[in-house]
């Protein structure tokens, strides 16, 4: 049985869907405004901004969020004036509209939390007044010749001198409810545009109970609306349901022909027309109609109330909004029409809750483990048929795994796009001219990682704007263009994603960083550090070389958090800088945090897994690595190239393998760097479900997580970048100690 709780759940789900959609529309609104500010003649972006604002207003109206509707209407009105050509886009207009975007977001936050924000109503009223002040005067709608433009006339049609009567004739199609439309919501929204003097529900289309379709809509409405708004505003109320209704609007200036056309559109028979005429008369319509038979004409008696037109009203047809009308009769249980189909097939989307998707990924992970167990049993039983079935299951699980992980992949361009606004606002605050260049926006990354990486990227962008890029005067003085460049670039490489934040500013001051590190005791006075290691000192907690504290930076808070957040994603950050020519911050992240293809090895009876895409080749242990059995790390010669190695058995303090045991070296790479990892045995490829380590094991270096093998044994996942840093770091420490003793 349908209950009130069911209704509340449906409304809550619809409300959550509206809020999600509104945030997407706000992002589109902001992006269009930013382009509009730099390219004021681009009408497509202006139209895109208007559509986004209109969609937010319309959806908010359906849910009765009056504060959102009222303010968004102010912004929409200014955008309509810009579209009409009555006002040009300038810095003041762009700034006010961007502030409007922020205020709409704040109003939506009120809806989401249910808590009123202090001073928000005052901000809304103040900014609304600013928007109205940016409107042109009554004389600005004319051209230099004194005649109004066509676009200006279209806007002027919306201006009236007081409430006037409109007739809204609405018939919903049978599929309206199936397609998620609530007729009552549209009528409530219509009431916000004026005063509904009369609203009559028509039930003549409702069939007998035994023929009633519980999911079908059989209702129609005749509404007498008093409003100061124009026809376009009334039409906009129903813009979301035009595919599922037949809407006709008769205005106060439409003549008898318009009413006659509507009457014949609604009813072909005399009885139906007479009934509708009587209804209109009850609603206060007094209008002589032509071409009616005597019975129909008699039904329309003069009525007291608002006169829809006078005898001197010019004849003219109704400016009806014709949409798909529901055919008379027919099977009301016919499947709903696909509203998203067309001549060109469009991509179809469905919203899925993130926790449901995470649960699916978890189940796929357990399926991967179970599949590995089945393969292990098949090998133990030595049954060809069993082995073939297990292999088939393995292939299907792998395909399901790739498909499930693909559901969580989103283009990082959505994250990059938000920095257009950041660069614009911070540049103006710092009085700098900066161009943002975005490339690789279609590179996909796990959505959970995108959400985590947004804040570190924000901090890096702000640092580049504040510390990296010089003022226009300083740039010109050193022979650079006055406009600085900030670039965001993303690309895939070796099974990972690289995100680069680079600028063409002054670069990092190596000597200043080194001096500050010595002052704070972060390094020894005789330490031999490479440029990259010196640049990496800026990630120390509280480290800052800024001469003054600003609202943007200078307190040394943030860069250590940036590194910590990136490392929590099993990623790493590197810095490259050329004094006077800029700096590049490179973030390297795995594609996903859930399931990876791994390479299984064992050391001292413990299983270790390393990401398969990082494995370059497997070799017999070179003689340089076995000359000193007690050495943890060192270097070896690989075809004329000297590379570092790390003995995992010694590093993790396992029991050494028996003398004479053949061991192997796995060459792994991280970007351009390579390191050899010495292991006891190689077991080959293995699908790896990544599980986090417990707090007890968080301090162990070089581990990224754990996994469960098909046998039920726990294996440890190696953090290859961290091991590479450890290997190269130990080598440099040994070389430094050797140089000190010599």
Residue 135: partners with Cβ closer than 8 Å, 6 or more residues away: 77, 78, 81, 87
Between 325 and 17, whose confidence is greater? 17
- The 3-state DSSP class for residue 353 equals coil
657: its two tokens: 């393998």
Q: Are strands 195-202 and 220-227 parallel, antiparallel or unpaired?
A: antiparallel
pLDDT at 346 over 60: no
The pLDDT of 256-273, averaged and rounded, is 86
At residue 640 the predicted structure's pLDDT band, cuts being 50, 70 and 90, is: confident
The pLDDT tens digits for 660-719 are 778 899 999 876 678 899 999 998 888 788 877 776 776 777 887 888 887 888 888 888
The pLDDT tens digits for 204-216 are 888 888 888 888 8
- The 3-state DSSP class for residue 476 equals helix
Going by C-alpha positions, the residue among 172, 234, 238 that lies closest to residue 202 is 172
- The 3-state DSSP class for residue 543 equals coil
pLDDT at 203 over 80: yes
Inter-helix orientation angle 183-191/43-62, to 10°: 110
pLDDT of residue 583: 92
pLDDT of residue 733: 52
At residue 601 the predicted structure's pLDDT band, cuts being 50, 70 and 90, is: very high
At residue 503 the predicted structure's pLDDT band, cuts being 50, 70 and 90, is: very high
Cβ-in-10-Å burial (0-12, 13-18, 19+) of 154 comes to: middle
pLDDT of residue 301: 43
Residue 514: partners with Cβ closer than 8 Å, 6 or more residues away: 523, 529, 534, 537
Going by C-alpha positions, the residue among 711, 716, 715 that lies closest to residue 369 is 711
**Averaging pLDDT over each range in 202-206, 522-526, 591-595, which range is the top one?**
202-206
Residue 381 φ then ψ, to 5°: -75, -20
- Across the beta sheet with 195-202, what order do the strands follow? 195-202, 220-227, 164-172, 245-250
User: Computed over its alpha carbons, how large is the radius of gyration of the chain?
Assistant: 35
The three-state DSSP-derived secondary structure of 207-256 is CCHHHCCCCCCCCEEEEEEEECCCHHHHHHHCCCCHHHEEEEEECCCCCH
pLDDT of residue 415: 86
Per-chain mean pLDDT for the chain: 78
Residue 584: partners with Cβ closer than 8 Å, 6 or more residues away: 500, 501, 502, 575, 576, 577
pLDDT at 740 over 70: no
Chain CA centroid to CA 300, Å: 56
pTM listed for this prediction: 0.63
Q: Are strands 164-172 and 245-250 parallel, antiparallel or unpaired?
A: antiparallel
Chain CA centroid to CA 450, Å: 10
The pLDDT tens digits for 123-168 are 888 998 889 888 876 333 333 333 444 444 444 444 445 788 899 9
Which H/E stretch holds residue 637? strand 633-638
Equal CATH topology for 410-590 and 595-741: no
Residue 519: partners with Cβ closer than 8 Å, 6 or more residues away: none
pLDDT at 531 over 90: no
The pLDDT tens digits for 546-592 are 655 555 554 445 688 888 888 888 788 889 998 888 999 999 887 77
At residue 339 the predicted structure's pLDDT band, cuts being 50, 70 and 90, is: very low
pLDDT at 730 over 70: no
DSSP per position, 368-410: HHHHHHHHHHHHHHT-HHHHHHHHHHHHHHHHHHHHHHHHTEE
Which H/E stretch holds residue 491? strand 484-493
pLDDT at 223 over 80: yes
Residues of the chain above pLDDT 70, percent: 81
pLDDT at 13 over 80: no
The pLDDT of 74-102, averaged and rounded, is 88
Q: Can you give the residue ranges of every domain in the chain? A: 4-137+151-156, 164-299, 355-408, 410-590, 595-741
pLDDT of residue 315: 37
Residue 217 φ then ψ, to 5°: -115, 125
Residue 180 φ then ψ, to 5°: 85, 20
pLDDT of residue 484: 93
The pLDDT of 511-519, averaged and rounded, is 86
pLDDT of residue 341: 40
Q: What is the CATH number of domain 164-299?
A: 3.30.70.260
Whether 452 and 562 have beta carbons less than 8 Å apart is answered as no
Cβ-in-10-Å burial (0-12, 13-18, 19+) of 353 comes to: exposed
Going by C-alpha positions, the residue among 209, 513, 168 that lies closest to residue 321 is 168
Alpha helices per DSSP H over 412-470: 413-417, 419-430, 447-463
Q: What is the CATH number of domain 4-137+151-156?
A: 1.20.120.160
pLDDT of residue 345: 43
Q: What is the CATH number of domain 410-590?
A: 3.30.565.10
pLDDT of residue 290: 44
What's the length of the chain? 742
- Let me know if domain 595-741 sits in CATH 3.40.50.720: no
Vertex 134 angle, CA 130 and 135, to 5°: 125
d(CA 77, CA 92) in angstroms, rounded, equals 16
d(CA 45, CA 221) in angstroms, rounded, equals 37
d(CA 259, CA 250) in angstroms, rounded, equals 7
pLDDT at 499 over 90: yes
Residue 508 φ then ψ, to 5°: -85, 145
Residue 486 φ then ψ, to 5°: -120, 125
Identify the weakest region by mean pLDDT among 30-44, 154-168, 179-193, 422-436.
154-168
List the beta bridge partners of residue 617. Answer: 667
pLDDT at 518 over 50: yes
């Amino acid at each position: 049985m349908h209950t009130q709780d069911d209704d509340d759940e449906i409304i809550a789900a619809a409300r959550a869907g509206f809020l999600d959609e509104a945030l997407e529309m706000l992002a589109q609104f902001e992006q269009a405004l930013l382009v509009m500010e730099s390219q004021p003649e681009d009408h497509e972006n202006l139209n895109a901004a208007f559509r986004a604002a209109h969609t937010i207003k319309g959806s908010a109206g359906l849910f009765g969020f009056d504060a959102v509707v009222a303010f968004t209407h102010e912004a929409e009105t200014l955008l309509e004036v810009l579209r009409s050509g009555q006002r040009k886009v300038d810095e003041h207009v762009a700034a006010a509209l961007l502030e409007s975007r922020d205020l709409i977001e704040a109003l939506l936050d009120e809806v989401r939390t249910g808590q009123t924000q202090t001073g928000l109503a005052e901000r809304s009223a103040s900014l609304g007044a600013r928007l109205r002040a940016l409107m042109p005067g009554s004389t600005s709608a004319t051209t230099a010749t004194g005649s109004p433009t066509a676009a200006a006339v279209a806007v002027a049609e919306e201006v009236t001198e007081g409430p006037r009567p409109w007739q809204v004739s609405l018939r919903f199609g049978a599929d309206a409810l199936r397609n998620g439309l609530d007729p009552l919501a549209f009528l409530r929204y219509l009431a916000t545009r004026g005063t509904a003097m009369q609203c009559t529900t028509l039930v003549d289309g409702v069939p007998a109970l035994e023929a009633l379709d519980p999911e079908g809509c059989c209702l129609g409405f005749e509404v007498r609306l008093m409003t100061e708004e124009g026809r376009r505003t009334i039409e906009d109320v129903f813009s979301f349901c035009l595919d599922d209704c037949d809407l006709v609007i008769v205005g106060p200036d439409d003549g008898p022909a318009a009413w006659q056309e509507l009457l014949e559109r609604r009813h072909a028979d005399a009885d139906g027309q007479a009934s509708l005429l009587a209804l209109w008369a009850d609603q206060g319509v007094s209008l002589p109609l032509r071409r009616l038979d005597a019975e129909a004409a008699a039904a329309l008696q003069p009525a007291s109330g608002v006169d829809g037109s006078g005898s001197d009203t010019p004849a003219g047809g109704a400016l009806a909004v014709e949409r798909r009308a529901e055919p008379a009769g027919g099977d009301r249980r016919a499947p709903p029409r696909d509203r998203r189909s067309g001549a060109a097939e469009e991509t179809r989307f469905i919203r899925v809750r993130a926790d449901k998707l995470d649960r699916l990924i978890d189940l796929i992970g357990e399926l991967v483990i179970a599949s590995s167990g089945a393969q292990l049993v098949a090998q133990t039983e030595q049954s060809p048929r069993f082995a073939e079935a297990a292999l088939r299951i393995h292939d299907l699980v792998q395909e399901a795994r790739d498909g499930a992980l693909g559901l969580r992949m989103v283009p990082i361009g959505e994250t990059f796009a938000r920095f257009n606004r950041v660069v614009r606002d911070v540049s103006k605050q710092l009085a700098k001219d900066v161009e943002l260049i975005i490339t690789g926006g279609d590179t996909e990354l796990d959505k959970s990682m995108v959400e985590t990486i947004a804040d570190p990227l924000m901090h890096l962008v702000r640092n580049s704007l504040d510390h990296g890029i010089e003022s226009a005067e300083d740039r010109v003085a050193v022979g650079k263009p006055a406009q600085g460049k900030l670039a965001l670039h993303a690309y895939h490489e070796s099974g990972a994603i690289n995100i680069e934040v680079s600028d063409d500013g002054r670069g990092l001051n190596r000597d200043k960083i080194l001096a500050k590190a010595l002052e704070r005791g972060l390094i020894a006075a005789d330490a031999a550090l490479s440029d990259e290691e010196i640049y990496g000192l800026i990630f120390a907690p509280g480290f800052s070389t800024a001469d003054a504290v600003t609202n943007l930076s200078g307190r040394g808070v943030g860069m250590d958090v940036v590194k910590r957040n990136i490392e929590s994603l099993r990623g790493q950050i590197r810095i490259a800088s050329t004094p006077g020519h800029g700096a590049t911050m490179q973030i390297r992240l795995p594609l996903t945090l859930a399931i990876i293809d791994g390479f299984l090895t064992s050391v001292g009876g413990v299983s270790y897994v390393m990401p398969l895409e990082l494995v370059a080749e497997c070799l017999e242990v070179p003689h340089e690595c076995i000359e000193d059995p007690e050495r943890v790390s060192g270097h070896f010669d690989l075809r004329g190239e000297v590379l570092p190695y790390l003995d995992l058995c010694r590093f993790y303090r396992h029991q050494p393998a028996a003398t004479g045991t053949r061991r192997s070296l796995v060459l792994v790479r991280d970007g351009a760097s390579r390191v050899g990892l010495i292991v006891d045995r190689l077991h080959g490829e293995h699908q790896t479900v990544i599980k986090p380590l417990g707090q007890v094991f968080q301090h162990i270096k070089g581990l990224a997580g754990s996994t469960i093998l098909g046998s039920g044994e726990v294996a440890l996942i190696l953090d290859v970048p961290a091991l590479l840093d450890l290997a190269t770091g130990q080598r440099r420490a040994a070389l430094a100690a050797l140089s000190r003793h010599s």
